[in-house]
Structures are given as C-alpha cells and as structure tokens.
Chains A and B, each alone.
Chain A
Amino acid sequence: MASSTAPSSQPVSGDQPGDRLSAVPELAVRSQGLDKIFPNGFQALRKVDLAVGKGEVVVIMGPSGSGKSTLIRTFNGLETIQGGHLEVLGYHLDADNNQKVVGKIRRHVGMVFQSFNLFPHLSILENVTLAPVWVQKRDRQTVKKDALALLDHVGIREQAYKYPSQLSGGQQQRVAIARALALSPQLMLFDEPTSALDPEKVKEVLETIRALAAEGMTMVVVTHEVGFAREVADRVVFMDEGMIVEEASPQTFFTDPKEERSQLFLSRIL
C-alpha cells in the first residue's frame, strides 16, 4: 500500500475550537434534512438524510436530474445549501454556508469530475503539485517527489512533463485522481468519473478507483457502472427527484430492490 495515498492521520492545521463538533468523528459525512434550491427556484435536493462512515464506499445511483451530483457537490461546498445540516469530516455547515468552513473542508476532501477539469496551461506534474504547494504551502521538492510517486501509482509517471491535451481521456482522469490525492484527502468524491470516457478507457479508471477503495479510502461515487458498484460499494444509495429512495447493500439492491422506482430504474439499465 502506497503511503502517499493513505488518509493523512496528522492533526489538521489551522483549526479553531468549535469548528469541529467532536474530536474524533465517527462519520465522514452526515447530512440531515438537506435542501438545495437553485436561484431559478428548482429544488434539487429535498430533505436528504445520508451518513457515510469512515472507510466506507458509498455508490450513488439514479436517473439524470435526480440530484445525485448536486448532493456530492454540496459535500465540498461547490453548491450552497438552503436548509438542513451538513457535517463533513467533523466540520459543520448549514444554510449560512460559512466560506471559512468550506475552505477547511476542501483541504481534506478530494473531488474528481466527469470532464476531468485538468488545467490545460499546466503540465501533468504541475497539475498535481499546484494545490500542495500553494494551498498546503509544502516544500516544492518534497511535493514533486510525492507527486511523481502518485503518478507512478496511477500508472502515468512517464507522462509527467506532458500537457493534458496530449493525453487520452482515461489518462487525464487518472491524473485528476492523482491531483485530488496529492492533498492527502480523508474523503474522495467522484462525480460520474467514467461518463465522459470512451468505453475502452473506462476500465483503467475504474481499476484505479478500485485500488483506492482497497486501501481503505472513504469514497462517495456517483456512477452508472453497475459492475463497479456491485464489486466495490459497501452500500448503494438510490436517488430520484432530489430524494433518497432506497439504501441497501449492493447484493440486495441489484437482486431484490424494495422500491418501485428502483425496480423501474434497474430494469432500464440492466
């Protein structure tokens, strides 16, 4: 197991008393009655309650527009919330969306996007080292060494000095994973990480995520990959119309879904 990818156990710097509710949180994420209403009035999340334990891998599934992406985007403050409470890695957020707390959460939460979102003007290595150098203010040389180790880990060390546009989609997504891991996050969020990939590139990215899960990383993954969910997830959460419809182990969910809407969804994708 590569030490660089393991969740950091060092104390979090820059904390003020009261930011964290408990010293050693049991849960990585806990949302209670979460509401998200977009400025145009569309309510994307309705009273969502969800808990993600440390070390757990949760896969969120659901039809498009069901709010699954919005939900995980609230976990690192990319979407503000309009009601309810959210606790991420012990940091408390509610409808005032305190930007200081959001900033602290983001230092410990990694996010991987559907469209990779690498920075096109920076080399692969610079993409990975950017945040450790500027956000964590770590020494450049050590960061570079760690970044190369990470790139090695995801299998693209040879491309370190190339630029994003010179890489295939699968390679870019693996760089995006390495970039998120470089901050030693305690929680990883994946927003449809394989949806923008050519079919033959999906496997290499899923392999990388699977390896990460095997190392004990806490993860919330939005995906349509049933095989992946069946194999890797500890729990499957099914959402529709901004609500959680069903939560179950993958075995139960895929073989014996309780809710009618889940059955309908599965009948369409399986």
Chain B
Amino acid sequence: MADTPRPGPPPAQLLRRLRRGLFSSHLDTLITVVLAVVCGSGLWSLLHWALLQADWAVVQDNIRLYFNGNFPVSQIWRSWSWLGLLGVLCILTLMPSRLLPPAMVRLLPLFWVLILPIGLLLLAAGLGFEPVKSRFWGGLQLSLLLTLGTILMALPLGVLLALARRSSLPLLRWLTTGYIELMRGMPLIAVLFFGQLMIPLFLPEGWTFSRVLRAVLSLGFFMAAYMAEDVRGGLQSIPRTQLEAARSLGLSPLLTVALVELPQALRTALPALANQCVASLQNTSLLAYLGLIELLGISRSILANPDYLGRHLEVYLWLALVYWAVCILMTSLARRVERSLKVSDHH
C-alpha cells in the first residue's frame, strides 16, 4: 500500500497512482464505478434541488432569529457583540502563538473563563443596560451560552468527582461511583426532563430558578459524570513512579495531586474531554423539546410559521451546517490546545 511511486514524467506518474488508487483489480473497479455513480447522482440531485427547487428565504429572512433568537431588536447589538467577542477569542486561540504577545497567550485561558460572565452581563443586564429576561434569549447565542456554562461547570466538578472516586474513604468512593454510574446510565432527555419539571418539586416554596439556569445545572451535572470518567482514565495512566518521585521530594499529597498528577492526567484526557465538549453543544439541542428556544427550538418556531410551510429540508440542512461548523471549530480549538501542550512531552 505504501511503496513510493516510481519516478516518471508527471502525467504517467499520475496515471499510475490513479490506477493503483481506484482500479487495481476487477472488484476495485466495480466498487469505484458503483460509488462514483451513486455519489455523482446524489450530488447532482442535491445541487439540482439546492439551486433550483429549494427556497432559501426561510434561512435568509430569519438570520437574526437563528443567531440572536427573540432578543429585543433595540438591544440586538449586545447580542452581536458577545458573539463577536467569542469569535475574536476563537481566532486569537487558533492563531500561531508566536504572532501574539506572550502575555496575551498566557491570559487566553482566563479570557475563556471570563467570556461567560461577560456574556451574562452583556445579555442579561448590568453595566447600566436595560435588563433582558432570559426567556428572550435564543438561537445560536443561547446554544453557545448553554454549552459554555455546561463546560465551565462540568469540568471542575468532573475533576473533583474523579479524585473522590479514587479516595481512600470507602463511603466517598461509593457515593461518587454511584452518582457517576447512575448519571451515565440515564438518557440525557430524562435528566433534562427531571431538571425542568422536577427540580421545582424538590425546592422549598418560593424558590425558583430560571429555565436557562435549570438547563445548565442539569446539563452540567450530567456531563460532569462523563468528564469524571475521562479524568479518571488520565489519572490511571500516570505511572506509580511519578508519585514516588513527588513524595520523595517532600510534596504533600495535595501538592502531588495539584502539581504532578492532575496536569498530566488532564493532558492525557484532553482528546476525550474535547469530545465531551462537542457532545455538550449537541446536547443543548434537546432543550428544544423542553421549552427553550435555542438554535433548534427557534427553527421549530420558524417552521411553524405558515409562510414557510414545508421548508423543513432547507432549515435542517442549514442547521446541520451551523452545528457542523461549530463542532469543527470546537475540535480545532481542542487540537490547538493539544498541540501547544505537546511541545512539552513528545515521547
């Protein structure tokens, strides 16, 4: 499979490679032809539909709804500026770090933590703005807010759960194991259902949380169990000898965890944790069925508008594109972080 092509004039070489890649045997040729016909006709009918039959007005006319939801139009710049800030932060993170001042590179993680409170300040109230109730939040902006909130809650909680699951206290170990396994055994929609409809039943009279906060709490408690297992995997991959070295240097158990174990465990768990972050975004779409008008929810209400009757395919393809793009963005952010950490330990 991997032998290098023999040297020759470029066209002949290309022909040889084409032949080896597509037509090396009868079966191979058959597969290639069938696939090419199926893909070609599929692509053709998709293009035909997208350019001639589809009516993209349902997307074009409602861009504001998809991105900002029902945010009051007079205040919409607040919503756009938060999305803009988020975009700038993504670009800064993805840029090669030598193009940035070192102080900036060091502060990037802090910015990522701060972007959530900044978003809440900008969107909700504060800074002397007119308050906007959380039921007016929606669209991609709400999806991203929910995702960020979930990750910022689930990651620290997951680390604590992972440490507690390895504790020498049996009771603590049993409780956390029980919690993690229960959460991982439950479908997310059941957890969200519990969070939206049943949390009020467990609270004293007069206590209420907003729908958005209840959603973040349920998603956070759910994801924390998954992240805990990833962190635990990372902790288990650290050789015993590392702990012996730390102890010989007189590091207390707490310092050993903080300075030696966790940094290595999180590095190992990073790809798995990144997958959980992508899953967190996908999970927010379930809230469309629990009364939140995030990206999918707002699309459902657009589709309910008689003006756009039967435009499902256009909307779903557009949504798939948006979700896909954000997922890919999140994955490449994670790769970037992974690469910048890799410098320190390429074995």
A and B touch in the complex (CB under 8 A): yes
B71 CB → nearest A CB, Å: 43
B248 CB → nearest A CB, Å: 4
Structural contact, A121 and B264, CB atoms closer than 8 A:
yes
Structural contact, A117 and B245, CB atoms closer than 8 A:
yes
Structural contact, A107 and B248, CB atoms closer than 8 A:
no
Structural contact, B347 and A165, CB atoms closer than 8 A:
yes
B117 CB → nearest A CB, Å: 29
Interface: B96 (CB within 8 A):
no
Using CB atoms, name the residue of chain B closest to A105: B250
Structural contact, A119 and B247, CB atoms closer than 8 A:
no
Structural contact, A134 and B259, CB atoms closer than 8 A:
yes
Please provide the chain B residues from 223 to 242 with a CB less than 8 Å away from any CB of chain A in the complex: 241-242
Interface: A254 (CB within 8 A):
no
Structural contact, A113 and B245, CB atoms closer than 8 A:
yes
Structural contact, A135 and B251, CB atoms closer than 8 A:
yes
Interface: B114 (CB within 8 A):
no
Structural contact, A183 and B244, CB atoms closer than 8 A:
no
Using CB atoms, name the residue of chain B closest to A106: B250
A39 CB → nearest B CB, Å: 14
Contact A123-B251, Cβ < 8 Å, known A113-B245, A117-B245, A134-B259: no
A179: B residues at CB distance < 8 A? 249
Using CB atoms, name the residue of chain B closest to A163: B344
A154: B residues at CB distance < 8 A? none
Structural contact, A78 and B343, CB atoms closer than 8 A:
no
Interface: A115 (CB within 8 A):
yes
Interface: B345 (CB within 8 A):
yes
Using CB atoms, name the residue of chain A closest to B262: A121
Instruction: Count B interface residues, CB 8 Å.
Output: 23
Interface: B167 (CB within 8 A):
no
- The total of interchain contacts (Cβ-Cβ below 8 angstroms) comes to 70
Contact A121-B345, Cβ < 8 Å, known A134-B255, A134-B259, A135-B255: yes
B242: A residues at CB distance < 8 A? 117, 119
A120: B residues at CB distance < 8 A? 264, 344-345, 347
B249: A residues at CB distance < 8 A? 106, 130-131, 135, 179-180, 183
Interface: A103 (CB within 8 A):
yes
Interface: A186 (CB within 8 A):
no
A107: B residues at CB distance < 8 A? 250
A78: B residues at CB distance < 8 A? 244, 247-248
A100→B124 CA distance, assembly (Å): 51
Using CB atoms, name the residue of chain A closest to B344: A163
A110→B250 CA distance, assembly (Å): 9
A118→B246 CA distance, assembly (Å): 9
B263: A residues at CB distance < 8 A? 121
Instruction: Count A interface residues, CB 8 Å.
Output: 29
Interface: A173 (CB within 8 A):
no
A233 CB → nearest B CB, Å: 22
A180: B residues at CB distance < 8 A? 248-249
A183: B residues at CB distance < 8 A? 249-250
B250: A residues at CB distance < 8 A? 103, 106-107, 131, 135, 183
B311: A residues at CB distance < 8 A? none
Structural contact, B248 and A111, CB atoms closer than 8 A:
yes
Find B345's partner among A77, A103, A165 (CB 8 Å cutoff): A165
A109: B residues at CB distance < 8 A? 248
A122→B250 CA distance, assembly (Å): 17
Contact A163-B343, Cβ < 8 Å, known A103-B252, A121-B267, A135-B255: yes
A107→B241 CA distance, assembly (Å): 18
Structural contact, A119 and B347, CB atoms closer than 8 A:
no
A164: B residues at CB distance < 8 A? 345
Q: Which of A110, A118, A120, A135 has the most CB of B within 10 A?
A: A120
A120→B241 CA distance, assembly (Å): 12
Interface: B260 (CB within 8 A):
yes
B252: A residues at CB distance < 8 A? 103, 135
Interface: A171 (CB within 8 A):
no
Structural contact, A123 and B241, CB atoms closer than 8 A:
no
Interface: B106 (CB within 8 A):
no
B264: A residues at CB distance < 8 A? 119-121
Using CB atoms, name the residue of chain A closest to B253: A99
A215→B196 CA distance, assembly (Å): 71
A135→B247 CA distance, assembly (Å): 11
Interface: B339 (CB within 8 A):
no
B259: A residues at CB distance < 8 A? 130, 134
Using CB atoms, name the residue of chain A closest to B244: A78
Using CB atoms, name the residue of chain A closest to B242: A117
In the complex, per-residue mask of B213-231: 1 if CB is within 8 Å of any chain A CB, else 0: 0000000000000000000
B182 CB → nearest A CB, Å: 32
B260: A residues at CB distance < 8 A? 119
B346 CB → nearest A CB, Å: 6
Please provide the chain B residues from 323 to 347 with a CB less than 8 Å away from any CB of chain A in the complex: 341, 343-347
Contact A131-B245, Cβ < 8 Å, known A120-B345, A165-B345: no
A111→B243 CA distance, assembly (Å): 13
Using CB atoms, name the residue of chain B closest to A132: B249
A-B contact pairs, 16 of them (CB 8 A): A106-B249, A111-B245, A113-B248, A119-B242, A119-B245, A119-B246, A119-B260, A120-B344, A121-B263, A121-B267, A121-B344, A122-B344, A134-B255, A134-B259, A164-B345, A180-B249
Given contacts A120-B347, A183-B250, 9 further A-B contacts (CB under 8 A): A103-B250, A103-B252, A118-B245, A120-B264, A121-B267, A123-B344, A130-B251, A165-B345, A180-B248
Interface of B with A (CB < 8 Å)? 241-242, 244-252, 255, 259-260, 263-264, 267, 341, 343-347
